[in-house]
Amino acid sequence: DTAVSQTPKYLVTQMGNDKSIKCEQNLGHDTMYWYKQDSKKFLKIMFSYNNKELIINETVPNRFSPKSPDKAHLNLHINSLELGDSAVYFCASSQHLGETQYFGPGTRLLVL
Amino acid sequence: SQQGEEDPQALSIQEGENATMNCSYKTSINNLQWYRQNSGRGLVHLILIRSNEREKHSGRLRVTLDTSKKSSSLLITASRAADTASYFCATVMGYSSASKIIFGSGTRLSIRP
């Protein structure tokens, strides 16, 4: 069974569109994260939720809105996509904030 | 330099040799984590070392932490072709809403057969 899963795996879309990426973890963890990995492989945290509560909210354009319907799910909605949003987005979870993280396989977003 | 900066950026060694990667950081940390990322895949956790620990082992992996120098090293002994990957350190600072998690830029390790 996959511990942290993301859908879709690939996402190709036009500038200006709105898209969502879904993430689910079956590890029973309290904390979930969203990361962005750019073309140079630099990984930057975007958000962190702990028990459905937003804990970490880095400087991210407000076009990005995370939503956590329950502690096993953390979805990422992106409005008005821009070329610079092209990247790989990783979801992760950990038992508690700042502990060992388990990463999903990533969603490769390409904005044309 | 940035928090969680790694060196070298790239490392190529012969199979069977040891590989050492370093991570330096600037501010006090709660813990430091090492991850491996194979090409096109997600990150896989290797070792977490807390600020009050100096050394941890896991199989062929050895991690050290020197809080006075604000640095950590990851040693992979008897390297194998399957160790070819990028390796990242992540530093965790602060608590609750003041938490910061910062990943280094990574070391690309290539193992030559």
Q: DSSP E strands: which ranges in chain B? A: 5-7, 10-14, 19-24, 31-37, 43-50, 55-58, 61-66, 71-76, 85-93, 100-103, 107-112
Tens of pLDDT along A2-61?
A: 799 999 999 999 999 999 999 999 999 999 999 999 999 999 999 999 888 888 888 889
Does residue A90 contact residue A104 with C-beta atoms inside 8 Å? yes
Domain count of the fold of chain A:
1
Of B33, B90, B99, the CB nearest to A97: B99
Cross-strand bridge partners of residue B88 = B35
B99-112 as b/e: b if 16+ CB within 10 A: bbbbbbbbbbbebe
Residue B5 has pLDDT above 90, yes or no: no
The whole-number pLDDT of residue A1 equals 63
Counting every residue written for chain B, the total comes to 113
Asked if B42 and A103 come within 8 Å (Cβ–Cβ), the reply is: yes
How far A79 CA sits from the closest chain B CA (Å)?
A: 25
A2 touches chain B (CB under 8 A): no
Domain hosting B90: range is 5-112
- Which residue bears the tokens 């590890």? A27
A43 touches chain B (CB under 8 A): yes
Residue B1 has pLDDT above 60, yes or no: no
Query: What is the C-alpha separation between A37 and A78, in angstroms, rounded?
Result: 16
User: What average pLDDT does the structure give for chain A?
Assistant: 94
Asked if A101 and B41 come within 8 Å (Cβ–Cβ), the reply is: no
**CATH assignment at residue A66:** 2.60.40.10
Asked if B99 and A98 come within 8 Å (Cβ–Cβ), the reply is: yes
The whole-number pLDDT of residue B3 equals 59
B42 to chain A: closest CA residue:
A105
Residue B15 has pLDDT above 90, yes or no: yes
Tens of pLDDT along B22-58?
A: 999 999 999 999 999 999 999 999 999 999 999 999 9
Residue B65 has pLDDT above 80, yes or no: yes
A105 to chain B: closest CA residue:
B42
Does residue B34 contact residue B85 with C-beta atoms inside 8 Å? no
Tens of pLDDT along B81-110?
A: 999 999 999 999 988 777 889 999 999 999
Domain count of the fold of chain B:
1
Asked if A55 and B102 come within 8 Å (Cβ–Cβ), the reply is: no
Query: What is the C-alpha separation between A50 and A97, in angstroms, rounded?
Result: 7
B94 to chain A: closest CA residue:
A98
Query: What is the C-alpha separation between A56 and B102, in angstroms, rounded?
Result: 12
A90 touches chain B (CB under 8 A): yes
